[in-house]
């Protein structure tokens, strides 16, 4: 889809949305509209930031590992270039085979590493996406929203009073902080109990 086509597609979506909105307002009182920038929520959600840091660390490790193999390949190729005139054919063939095997190792490690990172990304981020969607649906149902839209995809302009982004983000981060606090208390409880038992024995 070209940029112009994309613009007219989005414009058409907005026009349809405005038509539905106007129809809803005329048809019934209390029509409530909300929009959310889910990308902004995800980028600033602390749990998602932690997940992304884990993925970044894994990607950096993979990059370092591949860089090491690449350096080995370059060293072997340089050696072959410098010594080729002084090596017998079997020796040359052996070195070429070693280079080929090392390139295959590089490709294998690249594919396995990328697959592992993608699987980990899905494992870490899919539950967070579900968590955000469930929170949005909960707010939509409990507070009587008629329509909640993705701001970045279907709007060219929206009044800030309809924007629920910061509210959703705060709720998610508050839930996250409460969970961390609860977890830290649970971890501290056994230690405190052990200290109390030792004090009692004395």
Domain membership of residue 20 (yes or no) is no
Among residues 102, 127, 117, the alpha carbon closest in space to that of 55 is found at 117
pLDDT value of position 10: 47
- The rounded distance, in Å, linking the Cα atoms of 76 and 81 is 9
168 strand-pairing partners: none
What is the number of other CB atoms lying within 10 angstroms of the CB of residue 159?
8
Phi-psi region of 30 (alpha: psi -120 to 50; beta: other; left: phi over 0): left
159 or 200, which is more confident?
159
Domain that holds residue 193: 32-201
pLDDT value of position 195: 60
Domain membership of residue 44 (yes or no) is yes
Domain membership of residue 14 (yes or no) is no
Q: How many domains would you assign to the chain?
A: 1
Domain membership of residue 45 (yes or no) is yes
Banded model confidence at residue 75, pLDDT cuts 50, 70, 90: very high
Domain membership of residue 116 (yes or no) is yes
* pLDDT > 90 in the chain, percent: 53
> What is the rounded average pLDDT of the residues 112-134?
95
Domain membership of residue 140 (yes or no) is yes
178 or 83, which is more confident?
178
Domain membership of residue 164 (yes or no) is yes
Domain membership of residue 6 (yes or no) is no
């Amino acid at each position: 889809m070209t940029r112009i086509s994309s613009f007219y597609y989005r414009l058409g979506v907005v026009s349809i949305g405005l038509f539905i909105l106007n129809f809803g307002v005329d048809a019934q009182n209390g029509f409530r509209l909300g929009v959310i920038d889910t990308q902004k929520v995800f980028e600033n959600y602390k749990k998602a930031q932690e997940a992304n840091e884990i993925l970044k660390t894994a990607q950096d490790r993979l990059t370092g590992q591949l860089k090491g193999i690449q350096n080995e390949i370059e060293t072997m190729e340089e050696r072959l270039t410098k010594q080729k005139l002084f090596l017998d054919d079997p020796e040359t063939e052996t070195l070429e085979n070693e280079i080929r095997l090392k390139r295959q190792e590089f490709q294998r490690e690249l594919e396995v590493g990328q697959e592992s990172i993608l699987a980990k990304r899905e494992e870490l981020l899919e539950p967070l996406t579900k968590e955000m969607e469930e929170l949005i649906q909960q707010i939509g149902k409990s507070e009587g929203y008629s329509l909640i839209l993705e701001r970045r995809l279907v709007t060219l302009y929206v009044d800030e009073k309809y924007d629920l982004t910061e509210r959703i983000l705060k709720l998610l981060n508050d839930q996250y902080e409460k969970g961390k606090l609860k977890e830290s208390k649970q971890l501290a409880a056994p230690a405190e109990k052990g200290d109390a038992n030792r004090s009692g024995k004395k």
